[in-house]
Amino acid sequence: MKPFAIDRTNGLCAALFIFFGAFFALQSLSLEIGTALRMGPGYFPLVLAIVLILLGAIILVQAIRVEGEPIGSMAWRGMLFILPAPIFFGLTVRGLGFVPSIFLTALIAAFASGRMKPLTALVLSAGLTLFSVLVFSYALGLPFQRFGPWLPSWLAL
């Protein structure tokens, strides 16, 4: 029989899940909870916090049962391109409009991979932009500006 050991990586992850779940559960208890049929403002955050705690408990059990792999090197390039992309979109979608914001956001995120070539990134961004406009503007009929006030008026055909 092997001695009691816990996988440090998964154990740390489980501890973080449980800690944040407990923190947000305590915070949501200060709000009115309500019932399942008449939810108060604290109901949904409490449910999500409980789910987070349960996921942490499952990961903790797994950390005790199975030894995992050590954490490898950090993918800094991916983080430097992926994390700012949605922030860029949120900050520019009203000023630039939907089309340029989607295109530039996809272009930023495309370079998270070191193997991405500039021409491939441009084609990928254009394709994603076309798809997004077709789905959100035409198929779903969402009311948004395709080109915003920061751009010259001749662009907003």
In sequence order, the 6+-apart residues with CB closer than 8 A to the CB of 20 are: 52
Read off the pLDDT band of 4 (50, 70, 90). Answer: low
pLDDT (tens digit per residue) in 133-143: 999 999 999 88
pLDDT (tens digit per residue) in 85-124: 999 999 999 999 999 999 999 999 999 999 999 999 999 9
Cβ atoms 28, 46 nearer than 8 A = yes
pLDDT (tens digit per residue) in 21-35: 999 999 999 999 998
Read off the pLDDT band of 72 (50, 70, 90). Answer: confident
Question: In whole angstroms, how far apart are CA 119 and each of 75, 79, 96, 100?
Answer: 23, 22, 23, 17
Residues in the chain: 157
Q: Read off the pLDDT of each residue in 123-130 and give the average, rounded to a whole number.
A: 97
Q: What is the mean pLDDT of the chain?
A: 91
